Chains A and B, each alone.
Chain A
């Protein structure tokens, strides 16, 4: 039961080097120098660009004055997952992209790394900056233990709710624990944040799939409100012949291995093809190269111009020596002894743009060629968690399978609220956090306790 050709194992030092933190911690001195550069803008564009609206100049000023606890409080009160967001946010697209330093012809302030510096200070020392609010006797269940649920649960706990998180995985944290490239964040980093939420009194019931292990009827009976933060489902299928062969993986399934077991135990082919050109595809191809794959192809049926990966992510893959095959459409996975042996592709040409503006590829007849590969990874997006969502009575779903909610993040069933990828169709961690917090406020106002501001500091 193995791949056709397995890449040679690396030395422990090579694994460590290849998966070392891509954006290492700052020393206190580095953080001070960087914090000093911040102009402390008024009505700052970085804050506006952040989906959670962290008061960036305020937290940087506090780093500068040596008030790291206060700095972390500013960050975490706006975004309880401030540490992972500091690591995994596409800051070039958000806060750092809006930094006034661009206009000044200088490098933007390293907001992400400074944010991590401040939050690491309190996480390293296990300093509890927040505490559960006085109990209001109301119970809320959160389904899923990813960023949206964690943010929602943390906010609700501070507002006095008794919160229980139900999650089907062994470990909490959702994609933070299982689904983001290991060189950006390790599972243990995500779990530190889970512990920070747990110390607010939030209860976790792991390996408990709602609907299967815990009936909806019980959930609705026992809890005053239910938050759904289940994210998306499995990676979409390619619907190609040969997809059942050994060596065909879903992107998340592959990345989860790099997060949940020792790197030398992750099986990797000598030659790997990844299909898709989003940010997840970049996580796959970079991980494959770093695990020792000799040749890694990124295969996309459109051109470089249409790829949805951010420029920064694309650069990572280029630096890792990934081979990009643009305008290439896979048509068949070739097997040998029921394992992947090749990928048959055709060239495409790009036609007129479709409804969302991307040019439609058309296969060029007679352009077939076959790549010899040992692994094929599907990174063509995740399916919505339709099976789960359909099981909740009264939930209204859009055509793309996402949950319809109102301004309170309340679904068609008034007791159910939803946020994060299952409602927005798949965005960043920081968006899930922002929406999860907003949903917590929605739940709070629906349950009859409207309050202008959340109780913040312990």
Chain B
């Protein structure tokens, strides 16, 4: 039976699922209910000098009838008195000693202030500290949040201040709103961070009301850029988590677009030791963790993984530079005639959007009939033309109808880098190597 417990910076978490710092972790009452539901840990809503919020604060993107595939907020850190937060952390720890409570902190850029907050958080009993260097809105204009996290030197400096006072692990939360997040992660590591968590939310404007031209979320007809998150950001998060995991030696906590066990497992495969969830809990409540834990355990049992560590980072070696990919690996599309429903979406996608390798249905050739005797228009792949791009398989609405089949072209593997070497040292347009820009 899979063991979901994880060690993180010497702390033991009952499972890798933590609530991220945000509205779901605003109060002790919420966090305790979350622990009852099965969450392993909770990063408290960021504590700092109390702020005043606006209404409304949240915006969502729906797509094809699916609600909230993307979400944003212009809410700030905790608006509750600092002492209330610390007192509640103490209460939660008293009742839930086995669950992790992590205080998220954001204060003005003064060494003494940071020292003060670190001490108070640890005195309250928090298991670790998360430094919010990522909040992209509201706080950054005041020189906090992303304003710190976007500058490697500030990140390193404040991290080192915190480490001077901290007795518990220090996690630095990273903003994705930078050119190269791994530079910030490395700065945090230099500053002494025990771990990094990423990604914080992405700068966004959720939309515009076309009647009033008010941006969303609307505050008296106006709005401001806010932090974007939810299912839509997961691919961005996976890229950044994997690139940071490859660069730093400290543990990584994955955040971004996690709503179920497989989302979490993908983050773990990309190098995350634990994961944090916010939007999905805001959408469906704390109960989602039950299937996250159950599904992950089932997956692990099915694959013979006893602990999270057994598959953590397993995708990392496969995340390569483009120049290392095999140019001689060849696949082409194959349409299953029996399964095809005749929508011809593959045809028009290939014809207009890709490489003109599919023939439309033609009367003499490849049609069939449905149960009502109506024609079903099965298109045809031109095998000699197909470049194996995947587009048809991606747009096909029928599971397993279009599959990509490997073609043996008899050629040995060859990467762009190999090819460039063959063509001569510089190649035609060889990209600069990663190290060259340093």
Contacts and interface: CB of A to CB of B under 8 A. Distances in A.
A98 B377 contact: no
Contacts of B65: 32-33, 36
B348 A97 contact: no
A92 B344 CA distance: 22
Nearest to A104: B341
A390 B65 CA distance: 58
Interface of B: 64-65, 340-345, 347-348, 360-361, 370-372, 374-377, 397-398
B254 to A, nearest CB: 31
A39 interface: yes
Nearest to A36: B65
B240 to A, nearest CB: 31
Interface string A15-54: 0000000000000000011001001111111001100000
B342 A45 contact: yes
A170 interface: no
A363 B135 CA distance: 89
A153 to B, nearest CB: 32
Nearest to B346: A42
A36 B64 contact: yes
| Main SS at interface, chain B | loop
A43 B370 contact: no
A42 B344 contact: yes
B376 A45 contact: yes
A101 interface: yes
B372 A45 contact: no
Given A92-B372, A100-B376, 14 more contacts: A36-B64, A39-B343, A39-B345, A39-B397, A40-B345, A41-B343, A41-B344, A41-B345, A42-B347, A43-B360, A45-B342, A98-B372, A98-B375, A102-B372
Contacts of B370: 98, 102-103
Contact of A45 (B64, B348, B375): B375
A44 B376 CA distance: 10
Nearest to A106: B341
Interface of A: 32-33, 36, 39-45, 48-49, 92-93, 97-98, 100-104
Contacts of B360: 42-43
A319 B9 CA distance: 69
B374 A49 contact: yes
Contacts of B342: 41, 45, 100, 103
B345 A45 contact: no
Nearest to B370: A102
A37 to B, nearest CB: 8
Contact of B377 (A39, A45, A101): A45
Nearest to A64: B64
A78 to B, nearest CB: 19
A40 B349 CA distance: 12
Given A49-B374, A98-B370, A43 B341 contact: no
Contacts of B374: 45, 49, 97-98, 102
Contacts of B344: 41-43
Contacts of B397: 39, 104
Most buried by B among A39, A44, A45, A103: A103
B377 A102 contact: no
23 contacts: A36-B65, A39-B397, A40-B345, A41-B342, A41-B345, A42-B343, A42-B344, A43-B344, A43-B361, A44-B343, A45-B342, A45-B377, A97-B374, A98-B370, A98-B374, A100-B341, A100-B342, A100-B343, A102-B341, A102-B370, A102-B371, A103-B341, A103-B342
A78 B371 CA distance: 28
A32 B66 CA distance: 11
A49 B377 CA distance: 13
A100 B376 CA distance: 7
Given A32-B65, A98-B372, A103 B340 contact: yes
Nearest to B373: A97
Nearest to B340: A103
A14 B374 CA distance: 40
Contacts of A93: 372
Contacts of A49: 374
A103 B378 CA distance: 11
A102 B343 CA distance: 11
A32 B377 CA distance: 27
Most buried by A among B342, B343, B371, B398: B343
B348 A42 contact: yes
A49 B375 CA distance: 10
Contacts of B343: 39, 41-42, 44, 100
Nearest to A29: B65
Nearest to B395: A39
Contacts of A39: 343, 345, 397
Contacts of A43: 344, 360-361, 377
B361 A103 contact: no
Nearest to B360: A43
Smallest CB-CB A-B distances: 3 pairs: A103-B341, A42-B348, A36-B65
Most buried by B among A36, A41, A92, A101: A41
